[in-house]
């Protein structure tokens, strides 16, 4: 699903959702290509999201009411901007803090100084 230059699939799996929600929280509204480019830039190319992973997630989150879309016509094409809905803000906050907490926990296990976060 991802094209990962640095990390194995198993590790990156499950991080796409918090990454996308965090980006939308910071930027307000974004279109798909913009999201992939932002992730690539922020992670210095270490994580690259493919359209095959991104769009199913965006459509699912939209169906769940986490995201809303705004379409803008650009000649023959339509640019669809995704943004957090009102209830989506809370979902994003919860997931981001859960992920941060998880990373902290993981650190305490995997640290060279085993057991000290």
Partner 1 sequence: MARLEDQQVEELHDQLLRWGIAYDPLRDDLLDHLCCMVEYEMNQGQTFSEAVQEALVKFDIYQIQETQEITLHLLTQKQRIMKKVAAITGIIASALAIGGVLFKMMHWPGAEVMLVLGVSLLSVVVLPLMGLIEFKQSNVLRSQYTALIGYISGATLFLGTLFRIMHWPGSSVLIVSGFVVLTFIFIPLYTVKSYQNTDNKMLAIARSAIIISAIAILWGLFP
> Residues 71, 87, 104, 105: which binds partner 1 (CB under 8 A)?
71
Query: Taking the complex as a whole, how short is the minimal distance between the CB of residue 99 and partner 1, in angstroms?
Result: 21
Distinct helix (H) and strand (E) counts, the chain = 5, 5
What span, in angstroms and rounded, lies between the C-alpha atoms of 102 and 48? 22
At 86 the three-state DSSP class reads helix
Helix axes 16-27, 86-110, angle to 10 degrees: 130
The contact mask relative to partner 1 for 72-111 (x = CB under 8 A, - = no) is --xxxxxxx-------------------------------
Residues of this chain that bind partner 1 (CB under 8 A): 31-33, 36, 50-52, 55-56, 58-60, 63, 71, 74-80
């Amino acid at each position: 699903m991802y094209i990962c230059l640095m990390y194995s699939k198993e590790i990156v799996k499950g991080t796409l959702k918090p990454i996308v929600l965090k980006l939308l929280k910071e930027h307000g509204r974004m279109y798909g290509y913009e999201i992939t480019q932002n992730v690539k830039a922020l992670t210095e190319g270490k994580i690259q999201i493919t359209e095959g992973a991104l769009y199913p997630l965006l459509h699912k989150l939209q169906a769940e009411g986490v995201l809303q879309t705004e379409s803008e016509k650009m000649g023959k094409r339509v640019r669809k901007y995704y943004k957090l809905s009102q209830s989506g803000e809370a979902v994003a906050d919860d997931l981001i803090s859960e992920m941060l907490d998880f990373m902290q926990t993981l650190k305490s296990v995997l640290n060279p100084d085993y057991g000290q976060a």
